Amino acid sequence: MTGDLLLHGYFRSSAAWRVRIALNLKGVPYAQAFRHLRRGEQSAPDYLAQNPQGLVPALDVAGRGTLTQSLAIVEWIEESFPGPALLPGAPWARARVRALAGIIACDVHPIQNLRVLVYLKRDLGAGQPAVDAFARHWISLGLDAVEARLAEAETGAFCHGDAPGMADLCLVPQLGNARRFGLDLARWPRVLRVEAACAALPAFAEAAPERQPDAE
């Protein structure tokens, strides 16, 4: 399948960032197409024909079609390409990693992504300080939960054990968002320790927003 993957994304999208990390960890080559979210390029008719939600990421797979939703894409990558594994082998361990990933991908990110914050500001009349405080509140609750879970014995250098996986590729982009909203991350030392372990790996460094061709 080499050369048959096209990832639609935006350099700052944390959901697209997750998928870039997953592909990098697996060593899977892919091309990128860019949808500038602040210019509304995700609402172009050609893109809506592929992804009716008008969100990023979307992954075009030659001969198959288009996958949407970042964790579904990551699961497909995990099942379609050989190691290193993004999920551990034992059922309990796999569930733990999925739960950690879900704290970020299901409960934190969706209510502080761009379209939600634009709605708060443009349609509900919230000022920018209130919008930023809203985002910081929900990010903080999520990171509190992750920090507590990282005290468990299954945690190693990474969120689960001593190899990066699905939980880590959700956590790192969320920390990027947290910094953009002005959160002081010092209160989450376990989270920062995991982030430092990830940052030392080329797969994470090369997926960072500032390393993408569409970075501004």
Quick one: 72 and 131 in the same domain?
no
pLDDT of residue 108 exceeding 60, the answer is: yes
In this prediction the pTM is 0.96
Q: Which of 1-15, 81-95, 122-136, 147-161 comes out lowest in average pLDDT?
A: 1-15
For residue 44, the domain's CATH number is 3.40.30.10
Q: Looking at 49, 84, 119, which one is the last position of a domain?
A: 84
pLDDT at 83: 85
Rounded Cα–Cα distance for residues 55 and 8 (Å): 9
pLDDT at 94: 98
Quick one: 174 and 138 in the same domain?
yes
Quick one: 97 and 190 in the same domain?
yes
For residue 126, the domain's CATH number is 1.20.1050.10
User: Does any domain span residue 189?
Assistant: yes
Q: What is the mean pLDDT of the segment spanning 164-181? A: 97
Quick one: 62 and 132 in the same domain?
no
In degrees and rounded to multiples of 5, residue 59 shows phi and psi of -120, 115
Quick one: 80 and 98 in the same domain?
no
User: Does any domain span residue 213?
Assistant: no
pLDDT at 3: 63
Q: Looking at 25, 51, 84, which one is the last position of a domain?
A: 84
- Region of 125 (left: φ > 0; alpha: ψ -120 to 50; beta: rest) is left
Cβ atoms within 10 A of the Cβ of 86, count?
A: 24
Q: Are 108 and 81 in contact (CB under 8 A)?
A: no
DSSP state of 60: E
pLDDT at 102: 98
Bridge partner residues of 155 (DSSP):
161
**Percent of the chain predicted with pLDDT > 90:** 97
Quick one: 79 and 101 in the same domain?
no
Q: Are 206 and 161 in contact (CB under 8 A)?
A: no
pLDDT at 139: 98
The total of structural domains in the chain comes to 2
**Amino acid in the structure at residue 38:** R
Q: What digits encode the pLDDT tens for the residues 40-53? A: 999 999 999 999 99
Q: Which long-range contacts (CB under 8 A, 24 or more apart) does 60-68 make?
A: 60/5, 60/6, 60/7, 60/8, 61/1, 61/4, 61/5, 62/1, 62/4, 62/5, 63/4
Average pLDDT along the chain:
96
User: Does any domain span residue 134?
Assistant: yes
Residues 6+ apart with CB under 8 A from 151: 190
Residues 6+ apart with CB under 8 A from 82: 26
pLDDT at 152: 98
Quick one: 128 and 199 in the same domain?
yes
pLDDT at 59: 98
Q: What is the mean pLDDT of the segment spanning 96-109? A: 97
Cβ atoms within 10 A of the Cβ of 216, count?
A: 9
SS3 (DSSP) at 168: helix
Q: What digits encode the pLDDT tens for the residues 1-26? A: 446 999 999 999 999 999 999 999 99
* Domain that residue 178 falls in: 91-204
SS3 (DSSP) at 125: coil
Q: Looking at 84, 117, 144, which one is the last position of a domain?
A: 84
User: Does any domain span residue 215?
Assistant: no
Q: Which candidate, 99, 104, 87, places its Cα nearest to that of 165?
A: 87
Quick one: 118 and 185 in the same domain?
yes
